[in-house]
Structure 1
Amino acid sequence: MVKCCSTKCGKNVTKKCPGLQCGKCGKWMHASCIPITTEQLNALCGTEAVEWKCKTCNPQYKNKRISAILPDPEDDDNTDTEQVILMKDSCSEDFLRQLRSDIRDAIKDEIQRTLKYYSDKIDDYQKKLDDYEVKVKSMENQNKDLQNKYTNIQLKCNSMEQKLNQIEQTQLESKIEICGVEKKENENTTEIAKKIAQVLQVNCDDVTGAYRKERRAPAALQRGPASIIVTLKAGQRDCWLTTARTRTITGHDLGHPEESRIFLREALTPATAFLLWKAKSELKKDDKYKYVWCKGGNVLVRKHDQARIQTIRSEHDVEKLLKVNG
């Protein structure tokens, strides 16, 4: 018996396991190890002009007659074996075909379920998004309403503050403010006011009372001494202020060693005083407005000598004028 020279085989070559002999080295190999089919094996053996050589042999070696061990055509066992193999191959192909089909169906079902799941999720999210958009729109409308109400309340509040300030300012219409007088120990503010009257050559009896104004700002922010508030007889305020514009008063006029200037102005409420300061610091900057003053408790501005006089009632008016002249 000859054996197959294949390194993976080494079994005998028989009729049930047919094979070929190499035309050069003479070694045998099973047809299934080459590999070739039984029909190809029969065709090689039936043709004298054709030889077979193994892979390791020189292809230019002189041809020899192919030696082969062929299966017996009448061998029932071999036929049955081939039929069994064919049946197994057929069954395997059917099984693989069915397996592939089942896998495709399973994948298709899983993809469809996944798509359905995410489609439902997207629909849920879209519904929630629509609800949120409705809520946001409603909140935007509510916010606009609140802003409008706030604006109206702010306007009313500003109007009420202006009216209250006017009432307070009216209560000061008989009072003047003397600024620049240095504070002394045991000073008599009424006597200081009467000395100012003598300098101005107005009636000293117009003074009905006087007091040093309290300073609310911290000491580090205070500029100059606190002013003196003088209460005059009704109708005398304008006379004092008009006369004061024609005279220059210093500390020497009061018997003080200081040469600092002393001047008179209307007594103003804190709100009016702040508004006057705001208008001067903002509007007179860079010569935007030439004149900024206060008369009768009203803050007035004038851009130049030929311009009309405008009244400043709030900080908003100052901002409007700044924008116009920006």
Structure 2
Amino acid sequence: MKDLKRSVNFFSDKITDFEAKLCRFGEAIAAVSRLEEENVALKKEVSLLNDRVNNMERHSRQNNIEVQNFSYKSGENSVDVVYKIGFSLGVQVDPHSVDYVTRVPTTIKDKHKNIVVRFTSKYKRDDFLAAYRKKRLAMGVTHAGLVMANVAEKVFLGEHLTLANKIIFKQARTLAREKGYKYVWTQSGNVLVRRNDASRIIHVLSEADLSRL
């Protein structure tokens, strides 16, 4: 009876110990679950903050255009570059309509720095871009750069997109070619896609939107 009593007490202690460990294990699982929920909430918050920052950057660039593939010349006058491009496009640029002009770094090796032009109003920026698109259409230029006699060769003009929207725009163009979409363009810093003239316009805000094309 004594041996049996010792055995019962021994296993009782083991069970009690196991229950305590099981309780701690349950608490650990609950803590991990809370951390996972917090992590999901933080990811959503970061995503919202990123969207907010991207929208603020997009708004701050609404008066800008970005000029690509314009070769740099020592001692160049940045504002004079805008005048030359405007003359080639048939647009007379009022000196008071240009806020500032600057070269910005590019991630592409051995490529000239892009030129960012900030106009004093979005309407003047839009008129400049409209003249560029009109000339491209008149010359039958679609994807290649626009040749500007005595100015530059294969120059690209476009909206000054945020880094996030540049990535989305590039991905959208690649996907559009694969999926047979006819149009991919930007408007007010946003990326828009359209399969053909009769289809609806799709507003691409994120990579998730691209997956639904």
TM-score using structure 1 length: 0.52
| Cα distance in 2, alignment partners of residues 292 and 119 from structure 1 | 73
Offset of 1:294 from its aligned partner? 0.9
The CA deviation string for residues 264-295 of structure 1, in whole angstroms up to 9 with x for no partner, is: 212233343333234334x3352364322111
Residue equivalent to 1:120:
12
Residue equivalent to 2:143:
none
Alpha-carbon distance change, 238 to 163 in structure 1, aligned in 2, over 3 angstroms: closer
Counterpart amino acid of 1:228? I
Name the one with the larger strand percent.
2
Tell me whether 1:227 sits opposite 2:114 in the alignment: yes
Residue equivalent to 2:150:
253
CA RMSD of aligned residues (A): 3.0
| Cα distance in 2, alignment partners of residues 188 and 284 from structure 1 | 38
| Cα distance in 1, alignment partners of residues 36 and 155 from structure 2 | 53
Q: Secondary structure at the match of 1:176?
A: strand
Q: Secondary structure at the match of 1:293?
A: strand
Aligned ranges for residues 55-134 of structure 1 at < 5 Å? 110=3, 112=4, 115-116=7-8, 118-134=10-26
1:265 pairs with 158, 163, 173, which one?
158
Residue equivalent to 2:82:
193
Residue equivalent to 1:153:
45
Alpha-carbon distance change, 232 to 157 in structure 1, aligned in 2, over 3 angstroms: closer
| Identical columns (%) | 20
What are the ranges of 5 or more consecutive residues in structure 1 without an aligned counterpart? 1-107
Residue equivalent to 1:208:
98
Alpha-carbon distance change, 121 to 304 in structure 1, aligned in 2, over 3 angstroms: farther
Offset of 1:194 from its aligned partner? 1.2
| Cα distance in 1, alignment partners of residues 190 and 58 from structure 2 | 9
| Cα distance in 2, alignment partners of residues 197 and 216 from structure 1 | 23
Alpha-carbon distance change, 266 to 288 in structure 1, aligned in 2, over 3 angstroms: same
Offset of 1:203 from its aligned partner? 1.1
Counterpart amino acid of 2:188? G
Offset of 1:148 from its aligned partner? 4.6
2:201 pairs with 287, 309, 316, which one?
309
| Cα distance in 1, alignment partners of residues 171 and 127 from structure 2 | 27
Tell me whether 1:240 sits opposite 2:125 in the alignment: no
Q: Secondary structure at the match of 2:197?
A: coil
Q: Secondary structure at the match of 1:185?
A: coil
Residue equivalent to 1:319:
208
Counterpart amino acid of 2:12? D
What are the ranges of 5 or more consecutive residues in structure 2 without an aligned counterpart? 137-145
| Cα distance in 1, alignment partners of residues 38 and 118 from structure 2 | 46
Residue equivalent to 1:298:
190
Q: Kindly indicate whether the alpha-carbon contact (under 8 Å) linking 2:193 and 2:203 is maintained by their aligned counterparts in 1.
A: yes
Counterpart amino acid of 1:123? I
Runs of 4+ more than 6 Å apart: none
Alpha-carbon distance change, 150 to 165 in structure 1, aligned in 2, over 3 angstroms: same
Residue equivalent to 1:142:
34
Please tell me whether Structure 1 or Structure 2 has the larger radius of gyration of its CA atoms: 1
Residue equivalent to 1:67:
none
Residue equivalent to 2:140:
none
